[in-house]
Structure 1
C-alpha cells in the first residue's frame, strides 16, 4: 500500500446541510479536493467538494455526509491522500511524512536517533528525534547547518547538531 500524507483536517460541521469546515495543509489550499478520495486514520473514505472559502479554510461537502450531526462527528479527523497523488517537490524540499522514521547519524556516522515528528513553533521546522540511547526526545533545527544531508533513498539524515544537544555528546555540563 502506498504511504499517505496528511493533507487536511475536518474542523466540524458548518451550517445545517451536512457541510464540514475543512482546513487544508496543501501549498495550494484548494488542491486538497484534487487528491481524493481522501481517507481518515480509521479507514473512512470521502470524495471532497469545496463549496466556498471561509475563515481558516473551506466549507466542503464530503461524500456520504448529509446531516450536521454526521459532519460534527468527524470533527478533528485528519484526511490523508496517497503519496503518489501529490506533486513532486523541488530539490531539498520534503513532505514531513518522508522524514518521519529516518535514522539520524552524526558527521562520523554514529547513530544519534530516529525522527519521530517534524514540528514548527513559529520559526523554522524542528526535527523531533528519539535518541538512540533512550531518554527524552531532542529537537534539532531543520536547517542546512544542523542537517547538511537528507538521503531519502538510504533512509537517513546526516546531522551536525550543536554540542550537547544529544545525551552524551559535546559539553553538556
Structure 2
C-alpha cells in the first residue's frame, strides 16, 4: 500500500482575484485537506501545497504555494488531488477504507474464487465494486451492500461477493 494514491479532492476553479482556489473535498471533514497539505497529481508528482484553507460548501477555499493569480488557478481547473494511502489514519477495528477493497479476491458464497475487485466507484447511488472474473470474461458491477458483500476480510485479502443472479 505504500505507493497507492487515494483521491481526496479536485480543484474546481479560482476564488476571487488573488490566486485562491476552490477545492471540492472527498474527505469526511473538508479541512482534513489542510492537514494533508502536500497534495499529489494522479501520477504521484507534486500537485498543490496548501498553505491555508477555510471551509466552504462542499470543500475548501485555499491558498497554495504554486498559485498566485486567478489565471493560474483557472489553468488548473479540474486537477485531481491525491494523497498516499499511507497518509490516512488507520481505520478502527472492523472498519476499512473502500479503496482498500481494490485488489481483494472475490469469492462466491461457496468460498470459490470468482475474481478480483478491480475498482470501487460511487456514481451517485452508493458504492459499487467492479469485479474482474478469474476466467478473464467481462467485468461486472456489484453493489457494496450487506446483501451483496456479506463478508470482508482485509487481513486475508478476500471478500464474499454474491452475484446479482444469485439473489433473484
Give the TM-score normalised by the residue count of structure 2.
0.83
Superposition deviation, residue 82 in structure 1: 2.1
Q: 2:37·2:51 contact (CA, 8 Å) conserved in 1? A: no
The separation in 2 between residues aligned to 1:111 and 1:45, in whole angstroms, is 39
Structure 1 stretches (4+) deviating beyond 4 angstroms?
Answer: none
Stretch moving more, 134-143 or 65-74: 134-143
96, 114, 120: which one aligns with 1:112: 114
The separation in 2 between residues aligned to 1:123 and 1:39, in whole angstroms, is 28
Decide whether aligned partners of structure 1 residues 25 and 50 sit closer, same or farther in structure 2, where only a CA change above 3 A counts. Answer: farther
Give the TM-score normalised by the residue count of structure 1.
0.81
Give the SS at the match of 1:47.
strand
The separation in 1 between residues aligned to 2:139 and 2:94, in whole angstroms, is 25
| 1:60 aligned partner | 62
- Where in structure 1 are there 5+ consecutive unaligned residues? 166-170
The separation in 1 between residues aligned to 2:122 and 2:7, in whole angstroms, is 16
| 2:91 aligned partner | 89
Q: 1:36 and 2:41 equivalent?
A: no
Cα-Cα RMSD: 2.3
Q: 2:30·2:55 contact (CA, 8 Å) conserved in 1? A: no
- Where in structure 2 are there 5+ consecutive unaligned residues? none
Stretch moving more, 87-96 or 32-41: 87-96
| 1:10 aligned partner | 11
Q: 1:100 and 2:107 equivalent?
A: no
The separation in 2 between residues aligned to 1:76 and 1:30, in whole angstroms, is 19
Q: 1:10·1:75 contact (CA, 8 Å) conserved in 2? A: yes
Q: 1:46 and 2:62 equivalent?
A: no
Provide Cα deviations, 1:57-78, integer angstroms capped at 9, x if missing partner. 2211121211222212221111
Q: 2:30·2:58 contact (CA, 8 Å) conserved in 1? A: no
The separation in 2 between residues aligned to 1:48 and 1:130, in whole angstroms, is 37
Q: 1:52·1:58 contact (CA, 8 Å) conserved in 2? A: yes
Superposition deviation, residue 30 in structure 1: 1.0
Superposition deviation, residue 39 in structure 1: 0.9
Q: 1:36·1:81 contact (CA, 8 Å) conserved in 2? A: no
The separation in 2 between residues aligned to 1:81 and 1:62, in whole angstroms, is 16
Give the SS at the match of 2:164.
coil
The separation in 2 between residues aligned to 1:84 and 1:120, in whole angstroms, is 22
